[in-house]
């Protein structure tokens, strides 16, 4: 299993707009939505397919179809900002939700909500969250999803700190990780530097 850092020019351009502290809610959401579509293409590159016979208007041929259904799992709240873009590219995807709140004092993640489609164990599961900071939220979310039966899991994050990547690689060597941009470090409050601030607050306008 692998970690991929995308460093894609279009994503970097849009992400730079999101990073700007003066970018408002509307533009922040719009750019995240656009980036999600680009990430969906990249994250799904390695999904398994099987041969299927198809008759074109010209002749019969062997085509391909996905082996498993796809389930998107946004980590609430900020992961919700990636769902519409992924669904645009994968309209048949089912969506499960897991709520993880990072205790801002201890930085420990706590699950507060979970609801999944019943085919979790037979699906390709793509967990999405814009921020991979300490890695605690994503790692705990994946542990909880595995406990509910998920076997084929990918994690897609917009911005990651090296610390978060190391945690996912250590805790979940079976999970493919796709990150749009690798930042420098975490600060003393567990925020990614340079990062983009609190993704959930910027997405939902709760930054007071």
Ligand X SMILES: O=P(O)(O)OC[C@H]1O[C@H](OP(=O)(O)OP(=O)(O)O)[C@H](O)[C@@H]1O
Ligand Y SMILES: O=c1cc[nH]c(=O)[nH]1
Question: Shortest approach of ligand Y to residue 19 CB, angstroms?
Answer: 11
Distance, in Å, from the CA atom of 136 to the CA atom of 57, rounded to the nearest integer, reads 52
Question: Shortest approach of ligand Y to residue 80 CB, angstroms?
Answer: 13
Helix (H) or strand (E) run with residue 202 in it: helix 199-204
For residue 171, indicate whether it is catalytic.
Answer: no
Any known ligand binding at 165? no
Where does this chain touch ligand Y (CB under 6 A) — which range of 9-17, 114-122, 172-180, 189-197?
189-197
Helix (H) or strand (E) run with residue 93 in it: none
The yes or no reply on residue 198 touching ligand X (CB under 6 A) is yes
Helix (H) or strand (E) run with residue 207 in it: none
Contact track, ligand Y, 66-95, x by CB under 6 A = ------------x-----------------
Q: What is the dihedral of CA 14, 91, 42, 26, to 10 degrees?
A: 10
Residues comprising the chain, all counted: 208
Q: Which two tokens stand for residue 141?
A: 């979310």
Any known ligand binding at 133? yes
For residue 102, indicate whether it is catalytic.
Answer: yes
Question: Where on the chain is the footprint of ligand X (CB under 6 A)?
Answer: 75-78, 100-102, 107, 109, 129-138, 164, 190, 198-200
Catalytic residues: 102, 106, 198, 201
């Amino acid at each position: 299993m692998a970690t991929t850092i995308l460093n894609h020019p279009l994503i970097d351009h849009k992400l730079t707009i999101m990073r700007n502290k003066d970018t408002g809610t509307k533009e922040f959401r719009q750019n995240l939505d656009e980036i999600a579509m680009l990430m969906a293409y990249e994250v799904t590159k390695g999904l398994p397919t099987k041969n299927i016979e198809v008759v074109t208007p010209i002749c019969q041929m062997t085509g391909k179809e996905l082996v498993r259904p796809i389930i998107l799992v946004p980590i609430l709240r900020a992961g919700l900002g990636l769902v519409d873009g992924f669904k645009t590219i994968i309209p048949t995807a089912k969506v499960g939700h897991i709520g993880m709140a990072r205790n801002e004092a201890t930085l420990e993640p706590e699950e507060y909500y979970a609801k999944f489609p019943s085919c979790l164990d037979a699906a390709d599961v793509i967990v999405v969250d814009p921020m991979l900071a300490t890695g605690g939220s994503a790692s705990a979310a994946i542990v909880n999803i595995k406990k509910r039966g998920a076997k084929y899991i990918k994690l897609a994050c917009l911005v990651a700190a090296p610390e978060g990547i190391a945690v996912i690689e250590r805790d979940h060597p079976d999970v493919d990780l796709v990150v749009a941009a690798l930042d420098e470090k975490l600060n003393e409050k567990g925020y990614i530097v340079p990062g983009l601030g609190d993704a959930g607050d910027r997405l939902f306008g709760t930054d007071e």
